Amino acid sequence: MSYLVDKDGYYGEFGGAYVPEILHQCVENLQKEYLKVIESESFQKEYNQLLRDYVGRPSPLYYANRLSEKYGARIYLKREDLNHTGAHKINNTVGQILIARHMGKTRIIAETGAGQHGVATATVCALMNMQCVVYMGATDVKRQHINVEKMKMLGATVVPVESGNKTLKDATNEAIRDWCCHPSDTFYIIGSTVGPHPYPDMVARLQSVISKEIKEQIMEKEGRDYPDYLMACVGGGSNAGGTVYHYIDDERVKIVLAEAGGMGVDSGKTAATIALGQVGILHGAKSYVIQSEDGQIEEPYSISAGLDYPGIGPMHANMAAHRRAQIIPVNDDEAVAAAYELTRLEGIIPALESAHALGALPKMKFRPEDVVVLTVSGRGDKDIETYLNYYNR
Ligand SMILES: *Cc1c(COP(=O)(O)O)cnc(C)c1O
């Protein structure tokens, strides 16, 4: 048995492609094409070249000396925060825009919550001279002003979505609606390991460069090509998916994922999908979803906009269901404290999302010889105001 996707697009009971009739053809075409494209020599050549010269890969694997001392293990940080545009998301958008071009598409759409995926998509659209429309909840447009301005400067059209709670879930619905209206010329770039098959697998493969590099880098530093622990934060699951991809069926490697506890799992203000979710269908895939008794999606909450999602990717739902991964909820206060700690111990200001992975460290019991690789998914520049205001409210 493998924890990777099966030939029908499922991870155990999770995944699949539950899409409206009008999108069926589109999704089926993508299912037929994506592996052929990704495995082609011309795609690999261009993708790897862009990852190296444009994104700045390989990202360093940094031995965090003082952090290691504090937690009594050999802790390495995988530095996705050093990528162009400041996070792991660019690995995926570079890959998907190349796939879109291979498939003859001319118009790109995307959804965005905090604006990070929107900026990463607008960036590669500028690079490839493609038309770009980004759907964003009206509430988020107000909250994430700088990212909206960045997308506009990059030449994208940002469409504020006024339906529902005017946040990520509503923006995603609107993007799907757009895709339904323009199936022939439009490619929908999804930002995480969510959505109908093949998106979760496609995004995980495009992010798998993270674990491919970890293998080589840990071999060089530790003389073996695997760590004892892999740790990452999980919103939809793309940085975690990339971090574990090449180790997912290697039981020597323990997987620890941090989800956003918000104000606490039982507080009613949380995004802890694994702790609270029930099996349901969200945005085209079967997974765990935070929902009310009659199946309505509940509004999630987290201090971190990137983890504020009521679902989780099917790959991660399956790992959680079979206890392949340990899922730890980390609350707002624990994440903020962990961000300050990393900043003062190592001189690295992490993104609030990544701070949740760091916030799981105090909950772990390591042996001194344990080798731990923790992915810092992004940098904290976008979160400075939140960090500074947190203790002065
Ligand atoms: C978007 C984002 C996340 C959450 O998304 P995943 O798909 O779960 O990785 C985490 N960290 C950063 C920095 C992000 O921008």
Q: What is the pLDDT of residue 271?
A: 93
**Sequence ranges of the domains in the chain:** 14-50+89-202, 58-87+209-391
Nearest residue (CA) to ligand 1, atom 1: 306
Q: Which atom of ligand 1 is nearest to the CA of 192?
A: 7
Choosing from 59, 78, 80, 89, which is the catalytic residue? 89
Q: Which atom of ligand 1 is nearest to the CA of 237?
A: 8
Q: Which residues contact 9 (CB under 8 A, 6 or more apart)?
A: 15, 16, 17, 31, 196, 197, 198, 201
Class of 58-87+209-391 in CATH: alpha beta
Choosing from 111, 174, 341, 353, which is the catalytic residue? 111
Q: What is the pLDDT of residue 338?
A: 98
| 171 CA → ligand 1 middle, Å | 17
Nearest residue (CA) to ligand 1, atom 5: 235
Nearest residue (CA) to ligand 1, atom 13: 378
Provide the percentage of residues in the chain whose pLDDT is more than 70. Answer: 100
| 105 CA → ligand 1 middle, Å | 26
Q: Which of 168, 239, 348, 383 to mutate to test the pocket of ligand 1 (most atoms within 8 A of CB)?
A: 239
Q: 164 pLDDT band (50/70/90 cuts)?
A: confident
Question: pLDDT by residue (tens digit) across 299-324?
Answer: 889 999 889 888 899 999 999 999 99
Across residues 357-386, what is the average pLDDT?
97
| 118 CA → ligand 1 middle, Å | 12
| 348 CA → ligand 1 middle, Å | 17
Residue 363 appears among annotated catalytic residues:
no
Q: Which residues contact 272 (CB under 8 A, 6 or more apart)?
A: 259, 260, 261, 262, 265, 329
| 21 CA → ligand 1 middle, Å | 30
Which option is the CATH number for 14-50+89-202: 3.40.640.10, 1.10.540.10, 3.90.850.10, 3.40.50.1100?
A: 3.40.50.1100
Q: Which of 96, 116, 379 to mutate to test the pocket of ligand 1 (most atoms within 8 A of CB)?
A: 116
Nearest residue (CA) to ligand 1, atom 2: 306
Q: Which amino acid is at 119?
A: V
Q: What is the pLDDT of residue 305?
A: 85
Instruction: Find out whether 380 and 353 touch, Cβ atoms under 8 Å.
Output: no
Question: DSSP string spanning 54-69?
Answer: II-PSPPEEE-HHHHH
| 381 CA → ligand 1 middle, Å | 14
The pair phi, psi for residue 333, each rounded to 5°, is: -65, -35
Q: Which atom of ligand 1 is nearest to the CA of 238?
A: 7
| 34 CA → ligand 1 middle, Å | 23
In DSSP terms, 63 is beta-bridged to 76
Across residues 250-265, what is the average pLDDT?
97
Choosing from 169, 353, 377, 382, which is the catalytic residue? 377
CA distances from 34 to 148, 373, 391 (A): 30, 30, 47
Q: Which residues contact 91 (CB under 8 A, 6 or more apart)?
A: 51, 55, 57, 83, 206, 207, 209, 210, 242
Q: 382 pLDDT band (50/70/90 cuts)?
A: very high
Nearest residue (CA) to ligand 1, atom 7: 238
Q: Which atom of ligand 1 is nearest to the CA of 242?
A: 9
pLDDT at 143 over 90: no
Query: Where does residue 369 rank: exposed (0-12), middle (13-18), buried (19+ CB within 10 A)?
Result: exposed
Q: What is the pLDDT of residue 165?
A: 83
Q: What is the pLDDT of residue 1?
A: 87
Mean pLDDT of the chain: 96
What is the Cα–Cα distance from 29 to 49, expressed in whole angstroms? 27
* Fold agreement (14-50+89-202, 58-87+209-391): yes
- The more confident residue out of 81 and 183 is 81
Structure tokens at 82: 């050093």
Q: What is the pLDDT of residue 359?
A: 98
What is the Cα–Cα distance from 118 to 111, expressed in whole angstroms? 7
What is the Cα–Cα distance from 158 to 151, expressed in whole angstroms? 7
pLDDT at 7 over 80: yes
CA distances from 346 to 55, 64, 69, 208, 339 (A): 23, 7, 12, 26, 11
Q: What is the pLDDT of residue 235?
A: 95
Binding pocket residue ranges, ligand 1, CB within 6 Å: 87, 89, 116, 192, 233-240, 306-307, 351, 353-354, 377-378
Question: DSSP string spanning 93-147?
Answer: HHHHHHHHHHTT--EEEEEESSSHHHHHHHHHHHHHT-EEEEEEEHHHHHHTHHH
Nearest residue (CA) to ligand 1, atom 10: 353
Residue 111 appears among annotated catalytic residues:
yes
| 87 CA → ligand 1 middle, Å | 8
Q: What is the pLDDT of residue 167?
A: 86
Across residues 201-211, what is the average pLDDT?
98
